[in-house]
Amino acid sequence: MIAAIILAAGESRRMGSPKALVPYRGLTFLEHLLAAARHARIGLTRVVLGRDADQIRSKLRLAPDQILINENWEKGPLSSLHVALRSIKSEKDIEAIILFLVDHPLITIHLVGALVAAFDQTKKSIVLPTHKGHRGHPVMFHKTLFAELLAAPLDVGARAVVRAHANDVLEVPTEEEGVLLNLNDPESILRLSTSSFSRTS
């Protein structure tokens, strides 16, 4: 079983409102990622909320067992990942996590399927997408790396673990530009709406 972890605990200062609730093409950012995570191999989904947790919960239908609260959200995304990893440590059937960031919402279930298939075929410790040679999100981590993720420096984040295991990273090329698109302010969404971007469904 694979666990989907969606990090949505940040301040959203540049966006001006919770990024999880920003609408795009009929869904909020968070709803886009929840839809992408509905893969047969994903048996558990956790959404880590922080500063705007009450507002997000009041506007989206999230199952109580899906939600985790990071009381220390101001310490950055890795602190939210730590909350998620600690919450699933008793789940013995979890082989890996797939880590989504709420400001990279334009991820499709097709892409998730490609990452999961590559993980199942190769058993690499880290699997991530690339678009035109650039690494993007989401990223899969095998369970053998959970302890290292928990020990990684907060100011460096999960990149420290990726760097430490450079020889065990599998890159999965994709035509989906969404793996690179960091939508963290209104201007980035405006640029997207006026561009030729299209995502593979």
Q: Where are the domains of the chain?
A: 2-193
Q: Which residue has the tokens 């990726």?
A: 162
pLDDT of residue 13: 63
pLDDT of residue 12: 64
pLDDT tens digits along 114-138: 999 999 999 899 999 999 999 999 9
Mean pLDDT across 42-48: 96
Among 39, 64, 57, which residue's Cα sits nearest to residue 138? Answer: 39
pLDDT of residue 197: 57
pLDDT of residue 176: 94
CA 135 to chain centre: 14
pLDDT of residue 182: 86
Would you say domain 2-193 falls under CATH 3.30.1490.100?
no
pLDDT of residue 41: 96
Whether residue 156 has pLDDT greater than 90: no
What is the maximum alpha-carbon separation in the chain? 46
CA 66 to chain centre: 14
| Mean pLDDT value across the chain | 90
Mean pLDDT across 172-196: 81
Among 106, 127, 134, which residue's Cα sits nearest to residue 198? Answer: 106
pLDDT tens digits along 55-96: 999 888 888 889 999 999 999 999 999 999 999 988 889 999
pLDDT of residue 62: 87
Percentage of the residues of the chain whose pLDDT score is greater than 70: 93
SS3 117: helix
Count of CA atoms in the C-beta half-sphere (13 A) of 53: 17
Question: Lowest-pLDDT range, 33-42, 169-178, 191-200?
Answer: 191-200
Whether residue 104 has pLDDT greater than 60: yes
Q: How many residues does the chain have?
A: 201
pLDDT of residue 201: 40
Distance CA 101, CA 91 (A): 22
pTM of the model: 0.91
